[in-house]
Amino acid sequence: MQLFYQLKAGVVFWDKLTIGGYYSEAINDVRPANLLVDYPRANIEMSAAGGFIEYSLYTNKLLHLTIPVAIGSMEMEGDDYNPQDINEGESRTMYVEPAVQAEVNLHKYVRLHAGLGYRIMGDPNYSEGIIPRADDALSFQVGLKFGLFQIKK
């Protein structure tokens, strides 16, 4: 299991549609079992960045739904910590991640969300060294949103 933190910023239109960008990074390094046979000290660092669009339903209710879609690029960098060789490497892959989230209005400026997404990975547009191909995967997200969601006239 891989844990990420994510920072997002966006512009909210009509308390329904959000358009913005994000950056995320793995909290812990990945240590794939198939790499550890040949490279026992190997690890992989992961980060991603891109844009998102999110549509929200029933935002005036305490509990409502959001449907975010992220489009971005994931970068994986590997290191086998062996100074005698150069079997390190990196890979960059485009992906699309649609999701469905339940969201709770905690305060006028704070919302809590949790939901499921599915990350669909493209073919790596650049890859070298010991980096394995990233697979499509189910994701679980939980987080807080802070902001001006609705501006009264």
Domains of the chain: 4-146 (2.40.160.20)
At 43 the pLDDT is 75
At 20 the pLDDT is 97
At 98 the pLDDT is 98
pLDDT tens track, the chain, 153 positions: 678 889 999 999 988 999 999 999 988 877 777 666 777 777 778 899 999 999 999 988 999 999 999 999 998 887 766 656 555 677 888 999 999 999 999 998 899 999 999 999 988 776 566 676 778 889 999 999 898 877 665
Distance, in Å, from the CA atom of 63 to the CA atom of 111, rounded to the nearest integer, reads 10
End-to-end, the C-alpha distance of the chain in Å comes to 46
pTM greater than 0.95: no
Distance, in Å, from the CA atom of 39 to the CA atom of 84, rounded to the nearest integer, reads 12
Phi and psi (nearest 5°) for 61? Answer: -85, 155
CA 40 to each of CA 37, 43, 94, 144: distance values in angstroms, whole numbers, following the listed order: 6, 9, 29, 38
Distance, in Å, from the CA atom of 23 to the CA atom of 36, rounded to the nearest integer, reads 28
As given in the structure block, the two tokens for residue 39 are: 């490279």
| Beta bridge partner(s), residue 64 | 103
CA angle 70, 31, 116 (to 5 degrees): 30
